[in-house]
Amino acid sequence: MVQVSFKGFGIAFAVFALLVSGVSASGLSLSPSFAQVDACICDTAQLQFAAANTGPISDNYLFSITGDFPWGIVAPATATIDAGQTLPVFSFFTPSCFSQVGVYSFTVKGQSSTESKTSAITLNITPCVSMQDLSPDKAMCYGEKKSFQLTLRNKSRTASKNYTLFVSGNGAAAVTAPAMVFVPSEGSATFAVDIDSMKLDIGNYDAQIRAVSIYSLTGQPTQDEASIDLPFTINDCQRIALTFPTIICNIVEKCDEKPQSFPMIVTNNGELQDTVTVHASNSTVSFAKTVFNLAAGASETTTVTIAKEALNTSTFTIFASSALGAAKARIIEIRSAPCYGVGITSAAAFACSDRGSVQPVIVTNDGLDAQFNFTVSGMPFAYLNETGAFIKHGESRTIGLVITPGIADGNYSPTLTAVSEYSQSENSTQLQLVRCYDVSVAASDDLVCQCEDKAFNVEVINTGYLNDSFRIGVSNAPQWLEFQNVSMEPIAGNTRKTLTPHVYTCDAAPGVYSVVFNAVSLSQNSSGKASLDITLKSKEECYPASVSLSQGEFVECESTLISVNVTNTGLLKSTYVLSVDGPKWISIQPDFLVLEKGETSEAYLVASPPLNEAGNTYNVTVKAVSTGVTSTQSMLLNIVGVGEKVPPRGVPLQMNASATLENGVLTVYAMPGAIVQIRSPSGEGSSYSVDARGVITANATQEGEWKVSVLKAGYEPKTFVFTVAPAVAPQTGLFAGALSGKNAIYLAILAIFAVSGAFVYYQFVIGKKR
């Protein structure tokens, strides 16, 4: 009994069954062990094998096929064969439609649970189409058109095909064939090929007909093709021939100033004696003789003359007819022009002033053979490399206009002259001299900090007129300068491209490093270079900060806000990480600041001494760290008990503020958050809060003394006094070091207002945080 599965379930189960049963596995034979099969392109070939179970028990078998290309399949893929039984196994081979003609190898493999057998297969791929000529004799007379039969055969068993026909060979111009022929599978199709002798001349010709199967979806040709050679002969069956031994392509060149004559041969190609008469379609054409009595195969020569009145370009026809009915006609073209003339031209539009060059100048003799002299004028230090030459009729001669290097750039109009005995020509051309190849490199000195990632700009400038490519190099560069020698894409004339060498180092020693960038033209001998000094600054110079804060006494069980000013005293915009060393109940907010160079920003220490800390003193250090550089400031923190005294809020910081009075406008510059109070000479007062811009302006035109006070919690107040007098320009502000009388009272009121505001801020914000 044989059980077959075409779905494929593997051999693992059979192996497992054998192991469980403990019985020895069955054997396998696969025949034939070698086979050969033919298939045409895109067709299917079939082979049958016999797989036999030569063992004593039933077994599961797996069949597969491998080869040069994935064209084969096998069926069944898996099967169960009882002991002593034989199973037919089928293999199918379908070459790809784009496969190539040739021989390919495949292997069919059978696998039992314990052993495997293989069979070798040779697949011979051939074209499916063949072609046969049904009309081997293809002779005709000139002027005839004949049709001949060809047959296409398609041996493909499965596919009917359309074959596209191609015609080639020296006789292809006269051959007409169908563009496409349909051929059924295992069938044939006959089609006609037409040959029109009028499209060729008398003689022997050959044409090749090629039939190709083309894949319609992509238009790709396949190797399913056949070709056949079609030789054919066109005979001269005409009775009369007219030939012109001295003219080419039936064209007569003549001068306007005189008539032109040429010989004509009249030939009787018939088998009997005949009388031939000739005449022309144009009255300006005459013949020395018009009637010819010619024996069979005989010829006679006469002279054809075209009168000088036949000017410009025209055509005429010479007709020949015989008494026996033969006829012949030939069309002759007349090209008439002046016989004496010369032309001189130059296509030069520009030349390089930095290199010598030779610009072509073409002298054409439109007339009779003559000796010509050549000159140039209107351009200094330029000359012609030839001063004279003999030029035949209709010929051209190229001479050179030599441009010597070093001539100043600019526009020139050299005049070129060619003179002969009979003619003269002059040409004034426009020529621009420019510097074609040059390059310069531009770079500016720069500064970089340790651990700074920075790119520099290096400009490569093509100062020449023409496009050019350059190799860019660097010398004397430190290792931390990242820049590889490069070949740039072409740079257009008088344009530039920017390179960006990159630097980054934390370890190199500070100092000045000189780097030389150079550019060398890849097409001409020009170069340029630029030196760049890179000043490398240390981290200590680049990333320090100034930290300022106050010290004093603070009450236990109460939160206190201590102002900390951090100023970027380095060279770059930096991020400073803030931390505080001290008791765990003291912290700093915010914990980082991003500051521009020279910028100052404010942070706050929040001190919240717990119970039983009274009488203790702590040393508190604030740190600002940026790129490995640490800046510090310390303070003493004294703790007092609740109710002992009002703790000072620290020594006031110096206020950064200024004021001016110009053209009746008072301008105050102060820190954001500060309060500005302005009192006029009449005693009227106004207060302003400084926003993020740090500027307050107010009109101050009243004559007398103006007072400006600037207050901010934690900072020493500043006062400015200005006087407005009649017809006197505003005075600059003066800082009042000592306050007197009424002014002191106003300042005290403002101070109380500022301290009260700070207390409210503390109670609302800090208390809320606690």
Choices 3.30.1600.10, 3.40.50.1000, 2.60.40.10, 3.40.1260.10: CATH for 240-337: 2.60.40.10
pLDDT (mean) for 734-752: 37
Banded model confidence at residue 432, pLDDT cuts 50, 70, 90: confident
Please state, in angstroms and rounded to a whole number, the distance separating the CA atoms of residues 633 and 637.
13
pLDDT band at 753 (very low <50, low <70, confident <90, very high): very low
CA distance 18 to 31: 25
**What is the assigned CATH class of domain 342-434?**
mainly beta
Instruction: Classify residue 683 as left (phi > 0), alpha (psi -120 to 50) or beta.
Output: left
pLDDT for the residue 8: 36
Indicate if the pLDDT at residue 530 is higher than 60: yes
Structure tokens at 460: 């490569």
List the structure tokens of 415: 């005049």
Sheet with 129-133, edge to edge strand ranges = 129-133, 145-154, 187-196, 175-176
Question: Model's pTM, two decimal places?
Answer: 0.38
- Predicted pLDDT at 141: 74
Q: Span 2-126: which CATH code?
A: 2.60.40.10
Out of 60-64, 169-173, 761-765, least confident range? 761-765
Which of these CATH numbers, 2.60.40, 1.20.272, 2.70.98, 1.10.3470, describes 658-763?
A: 2.60.40
What's at 204, amino acid-wise? N
Q: What is the pLDDT of residues 628-650, one digit of tens each?
A: 899 999 888 888 887 765 544 55
Identify the CATH homologous superfamily for domain 439-537: Immunoglobulins (2.60.40.10)
pLDDT tens figures, 279-308: 999 888 999 999 999 988 899 999 999 988
What is the predicted pLDDT for the residue at 741?
Answer: 37
User: Which residues in the chain are classed under CATH 2.60.40.10?
Assistant: 2-126, 129-235, 240-337, 342-434, 439-537, 540-640
Q: Structure tokens of 184?
A: 């059924």
> Top-level CATH class of 540-640?
mainly beta
pLDDT tens by residue, 571-615: 999 999 999 999 988 888 788 999 999 999 888 887 888 888 888
Which of helix, strand or coil describes residue 15? helix
Q: What is the DSSP secondary-structure string of 324-362? A: TS-EEEEEEEEEEE-SS-EEEEE---EEESSS-EEEEEE
Angstrom distance (rounded) from CA 223 to CA 152: 16
CA separation for the pair 74, 91 (Å, rounded): 4
Tell me if residue 764 falls in helix, strand or coil: helix
| Residue 143: pLDDT band with limits 50, 70, 90 | low
- Give dist(CA 758, CA 649) in Å, integer: 10
Window from 170-174, 227-231, 472-476, 487-491 with minimum mean pLDDT: 487-491
Query: What is the β-pairing status of strands 350-352 and 431-434?
Result: parallel
**pLDDT > 70? residue 23:** no
The CATH classification number of 129-235 equals 2.60.40.10
What's the confidence (pLDDT) of residue 394?
84
Q: What is the pLDDT of residues 507-525, one digit of tens each?
A: 889 999 888 988 888 877 7
Tell me the average pLDDT of the chain.
82
Residue 199 is classified by DSSP as: G
Residue 458 in this model has a pLDDT that exceeds 80? yes
Q: Is the pLDDT of residue 376 over 80?
A: yes
